[in-house]
Chain A
Amino acid sequence: MDRRKFLWLCFGTGTAFTSVWLWDKFFLENSVENILTDMPADNSNLSNVPFEKLKEAMFYEKLENKRIKCTTCFRKCVVSNGGKGFCRVRVNKDGGYYSAVYSQPSAVHIDPVEKEPQHHFLPGTEILCFGTTGCNFTCQHCHNWHLSQASPGDLQTYDLPPDKVVELAIKKKVPTISFTYNEPTVFYEYVYDIAKLAKSKGVRILWHSNGYMDSTALKALLKYTDAVTIDLKGFTKKAYDNSSAKLEPVLETIKTIKHEGVWLEIVNLVIPTINDEPENIKKMCEWIKENVGVETPLHFSRFFPNYKLTRVAATPISKLEEAYNIARDVGIQYITIGNVPGHEKNSTFCPNCNKRIIHRKHFQVINNGIEEGKCKFCHHKIPGIWS
Chain B
Amino acid sequence: MPLIIAIIVMGFSGIVAQIIILRELLVTFQGNELSIGMILANGLITEAFGSYFIGKRIEKIRNKTSAFVSFTILFSIFFIATIWLIRIWKHLLGFQFGEGFGLIEIFYTSLIILLPVNIVHGALFTFGCRLFPVYLKSEQRLSIADNNGAKQIGKVYIYETIGTGIGGIIFTYLLVTQFNSVQISLIIGLINSAVCIYLIFPVLRTQKIFQNIFLFGLSVVLTIFFMLAAFSRIGIDLHLQFVRSQWYPQTVTYYQNSIYGNVVVTQNAEQFTFFSDGIPIITVPTPDIVHTEEFAHIPMLFHHNPKDVLIISGGAGGVINEILKYKTVNKIDYAEIDPLLLEAIRKFPTPLTEYEMNNPKVSIEYLDGRLFLKQTSKKYDMIFVGFSEPSNLQVNRLFTKEFFNEVSTKLNEYGILIITLPGSLVYVGNELKNLNKCIYNSLTEIFPSTKIIPGDAITIYLATNDENILLIPTEQIVERLQSLNLNLSLITSDYIEYKLQERWIDWFWNSIADGTKNINQDFKPLAVFYSLAYWNIQFAPHLQKIFTLFEKLDFRFFVAIILVVTLLFMILRLRIKRLNAASIPIVILTSGFAGMIFDLALIFSFQTLYGYVYYWIGLLVTAFMAGSAVGAMIMNKYLNRITKDIVTFVKLEVTIIIFAAIFPFVFFLFHSFIQYEFVSGVLQLVFLVLSFVSGMLVGAQFPLANKICLNRKTKSDSIGKTAGLLYSADLVGGWFGGILGGVVLLPLLGLVETFLILVILKICGLIIIVTSK
Tell me if A's interface is mostly helix, strand, loop or mixed.
loop
Contacts known (A154-B541, A319-B268); A310 close to B489, Cβ less than 8 A:
no
Assess whether A313 is in contact with B283, with CB atoms less than 8 Å apart: yes
Is residue A342 within 8 Å, beta carbon to beta carbon, of the partner chain? yes
Assess whether B286 is in contact with A317, with CB atoms less than 8 Å apart: yes
- Inter-chain CA distance A154–B293, complex, in Å, is 34
Assess whether A313 is in contact with B266, with CB atoms less than 8 Å apart: yes
Assess whether B427 is in contact with A319, with CB atoms less than 8 Å apart: no
| Chain A: CB-nearest residue to B279 | A310
Residues from chain A with a CB closer than 8 A to the CB of B275 are: 311
Is residue B490 within 8 Å, beta carbon to beta carbon, of the partner chain? yes
Is residue A149 within 8 Å, beta carbon to beta carbon, of the partner chain? yes
Residues from chain A with a CB closer than 8 A to the CB of B503 are: 36-37, 110
Residues from chain B with a CB closer than 8 A to the CB of A144 are: 426-427
Contacts known (A36-B507, A154-B541); A106 close to B427, Cβ less than 8 A:
yes
Assess whether A131 is in contact with B99, with CB atoms less than 8 Å apart: no
Residues from chain A with a CB closer than 8 A to the CB of B541 are: 149-151, 154
Number of interface residues of B (CB under 8 A): 51
Contacts known (A273-B250, A340-B289); A312 close to B98, Cβ less than 8 A:
yes
Is residue B655 within 8 Å, beta carbon to beta carbon, of the partner chain? no
Residues from chain A with a CB closer than 8 A to the CB of B495 are: 361-362, 364
Give the Cβ gap from B194 to chain A, nearest Cβ, in Å: 39
Residues from chain A with a CB closer than 8 A to the CB of B266 are: 313
Assess whether A146 is in contact with B426, with CB atoms less than 8 Å apart: yes
Assess whether B492 is in contact with A361, with CB atoms less than 8 Å apart: yes
Assess whether A314 is in contact with B283, with CB atoms less than 8 Å apart: yes
Is residue B240 within 8 Å, beta carbon to beta carbon, of the partner chain? no
Give the Cβ gap from A298 to chain B, nearest Cβ, in Å: 21
Contacts known (A308-B539, A313-B283, A364-B492); A272 close to B288, Cβ less than 8 A:
no
Assess whether A309 is in contact with B99, with CB atoms less than 8 Å apart: yes
Residues from chain A with a CB closer than 8 A to the CB of B99 are: 140, 308-311
Is residue A355 within 8 Å, beta carbon to beta carbon, of the partner chain? no
- Inter-chain CA distance A131–B425, complex, in Å, is 12
Is residue B278 within 8 Å, beta carbon to beta carbon, of the partner chain? yes
Number of interface residues of A (CB under 8 A): 48
Is residue B225 within 8 Å, beta carbon to beta carbon, of the partner chain? no
Pick the residue among A154, A309, A343, A366 that contacts B98 (CB under 8 A): A309
Give the Cβ gap from A234 to chain B, nearest Cβ, in Å: 14
- Inter-chain CA distance A151–B289, complex, in Å, is 33
Is residue A305 within 8 Å, beta carbon to beta carbon, of the partner chain? yes
Assess whether A318 is in contact with B269, with CB atoms less than 8 Å apart: yes
Assess whether B427 is in contact with A313, with CB atoms less than 8 Å apart: no
Residues from chain B with a CB closer than 8 A to the CB of A385 are: none
Is residue A39 within 8 Å, beta carbon to beta carbon, of the partner chain? yes
Give the Cβ gap from A315 to chain B, nearest Cβ, in Å: 8
Task: Write out, one digit per residue, whether chain B residues 310-343 have a CB within 8 A of any chain A CB (1) or not (0).
Answer: 0000000000000000000000000000000000
| Chain B: CB-nearest residue to A322 | B269
Pick the residue among B96, B98, B273, B494 that contacts A364 (CB under 8 A): B494
Task: Write out, one digit per residue, whether chain B residues 276-290 have a CB within 8 A of any chain A CB (1) or not (0).
Answer: 001110010110111
Task: Write out, one digit per residue, whether chain B residues 223-265 have a CB within 8 A of any chain A CB (1) or not (0).
Answer: 0000000000000000000000001011000000000000000
Residues from chain B with a CB closer than 8 A to the CB of A140 are: 96, 98-99
Give the Cβ gap from A359 to chain B, nearest Cβ, in Å: 11
- Inter-chain CA distance A317–B284, complex, in Å, is 10
Assess whether A273 is in contact with B280, with CB atoms less than 8 Å apart: no
- Inter-chain CA distance A37–B511, complex, in Å, is 9
Give the Cβ gap from B398 to chain A, nearest Cβ, in Å: 20
- Inter-chain CA distance A311–B250, complex, in Å, is 9
- Inter-chain CA distance A62–B711, complex, in Å, is 74
Residues from chain A with a CB closer than 8 A to the CB of B769 are: none
Which positions 48-107 of chain B face chain A at CB distance < 8 Å? 96-100
Which positions 404-460 of chain B face chain A at CB distance < 8 Å? 424-429, 432, 457
Residues from chain B with a CB closer than 8 A to the CB of A150 are: 429, 541
Task: Write out, one digit per residue, whether chain B residues 537-563 have a CB within 8 A of any chain A CB (1) or not (0).
Answer: 011010010000000000000000000
- Inter-chain CA distance A362–B424, complex, in Å, is 18
Assess whether A317 is in contact with B271, with CB atoms less than 8 Å apart: yes
Give the Cβ gap from B109 to chain A, nearest Cβ, in Å: 16
Pick the residue among B279, B280, B293, B426 that contacts A181 (CB under 8 A): B426
Which residue of A36, A272, A309 has the most chain B CB atoms within 10 A of its CB atom?
A: A272
Q: Show 15 A/B contacts (Cβ-Cβ < 8 Å), sorted by A.
A: A38-B510, A39-B507, A107-B426, A144-B427, A146-B428, A154-B544, A273-B250, A305-B280, A308-B96, A308-B539, A311-B100, A313-B266, A314-B280, A341-B290, A342-B489
Beyond A146-B427, A340-B289, A362-B490, 15 additional contacts (C-beta under 8 Å) are: A109-B426, A144-B426, A242-B96, A306-B457, A309-B96, A309-B99, A310-B99, A311-B97, A311-B100, A311-B275, A314-B283, A341-B289, A342-B488, A342-B489, A361-B489
